[in-house]
Structure 1
Amino acid sequence: MLALFRRRTPHRPDRPPSVGWHRSASGPPLTAGQIRGRRFSPARRGLDPAEVYAFLHRVAGELAATRRDLVTVTEENVRIKRAPRSWQARFAPGARR
């Protein structure tokens, strides 16, 4: 019973265990174009292809928007981290003006 709660992969001391959990081990992250272009073989009984492709386009659009937001947030993060250093360099005691 306790075996169910044990880690299946050993902890790597060079990074926290949660880093990279969302990445696929099979290759690089999917792009919105790969999702939109994915095709499935026809099946006699299965899902409606139009619904599947509509869903894939929605997922691809959300992925593209999320990646744009990530770039924006990353740039904002860099700007916010630089602001105190810039202020300190200009107004801290002993700083040249």
Structure 2
Amino acid sequence: MNRDDGTLPARLHPSLVRDHQFPTVGFGRRGFARREVRRFLLRLALELASLHREVTRLTEENTRLKRLLRDRRSAQANRPPC
């Protein structure tokens, strides 16, 4: 979610989520400002989606590198001695 000035907000940190305070609705009503809650939840969902994509990418990269290392070790083990 972009800020009004077009920049992206800082990444969400667990403490920001834990400590976030929603504004209450106006006088005579109970609860939180529904729009603020929805905005925050949307931001949280976008951040989680981004983190999940990054974890998937890093897991795939890790698998690829492990396979490459295993193949290289196997190729060296199968080399005839010099």
TM-score for the superposition, normalised by structure 1: 0.48
* Matched-pair identity in %: 44
Q: Deviations over 1:1-32 (max 9, x none)?
A: xxxxxxxxxxxxxxxxxxxxxxxxxxxxxxxx
Does the alignment pair 1:46 with 2:31?
yes
Over the aligned positions, Cα root-mean-square deviation in angstroms equals: 1.7
User: What is the distance in 1 between the residues matched to 2:66 and 2:55?
Assistant: 16
Q: For residues 60 and 43 of structure 2, what CA distance do their matches in structure 1 show? A: 26
- For residues 1-97 of structure 1, the aligned pairs below 5 Å read 44-92=29-77, 95=78
Measured against aligned partners, the alpha-carbon deviations of 1:42-86 in whole angstroms (never above 9, x if no partner) come to xx3121111000001000001110110110011011112112211
> What is the rounded CA distance, in whole Å, between the counterparts of 1:85 and 1:69 in structure 2?
24
| Unaligned runs of at least 5 residues, structure 1 | 1-43
Bigger fraction of residues in helix: 2
User: CA offset at residue 96 of structure 1?
Assistant: 5.6
